[in-house]
Amino acid sequence: MKKEKVKKEKILLHICCAPDATYPSELLSNNFEVIGYYYNPNMDSDEEDKKRFEETKKVSDLFKFELINSRGNIKDREEWNNAIAGLENLPEGGTRCFKCIEFRLKKTAEKAKEKNIKVFTTTLTVSPHKNAFLINSIGKNIAEKFNLEFLKSNFKKNNGLKKTLEYSKEFNLYRQKYCGCIFSKRRS
C-alpha cells in the first residue's frame, strides 16, 4: 500500500539575505512548505541587492524552497524612503530600523494575502542585532490587520545563529557586514 504524502501548510518567509535564510528555512520546512520572499527595498545599491538576491537564490536551490523575487522595484524603494524620512540620522537599531521592519513585514503580509498564504514570518530574528520581541510584536499587529497569522520566532536561539554561520562557511555564502541600508553601512 502506497503511503500518501501529507500536504503541508504554506508559510511565506520574508528573507533579508542568504545566510539568514539557511537555518530558518530548514527549521520551518519540518512543519511547513516554505515559500521564500526576498524583499528588501532598503538596499543601499542595486549591486548589493543583486548580490544578496543571487546568494539567496543559491540557498533556495540548496534547501529546496520556492523563492519569490521582489528586487529592484523603484516604487517600493521610493515608498521605503518615504517611510523612514526624517529618521535618517537616528542610531542604528532604533526607530528607523523598526519603521523599516514594519514596512517590509507589511509588504510581506500583502504578498501572503495575494498568494493566499495564511502564515508568514521573517528571517530578521536570527540577527544578534535585531530585537526578536519587537519584530514579533510588529508582525503580530500587521497579521491582525490582514487577517493572517504571523509565526513568532527567535531564530537565533537554539544555536540558530551559529548554524547560519556554519552554513555560510559550508556553502561559501556572501556575508555582508551591515544591514543593507546606506545608514547602517555608514556605521559599520
Distance CA 127, CA 52 (A): 16
Lowest mean pLDDT among 3-7, 60-64, 150-154, 184-188: 184-188
Query: 32 versus 87: which is more confidently predicted?
Result: 32
Rounded mean pLDDT of 69-88? Answer: 86
Return mean pLDDT, the chain. 91
Question: Residue 8 carries which side chain, given as an amino acid letter?
Answer: K
Dihedrals φ, ψ of 35, to 5°?
A: -115, 115
Task: Check whether 2 has a pLDDT greater than 70.
Answer: no
C-alpha cell at 47: 549591486
Please state the pTM of the whole predicted model: 0.93
Q: Is the pLDDT of residue 137 over 70?
A: yes
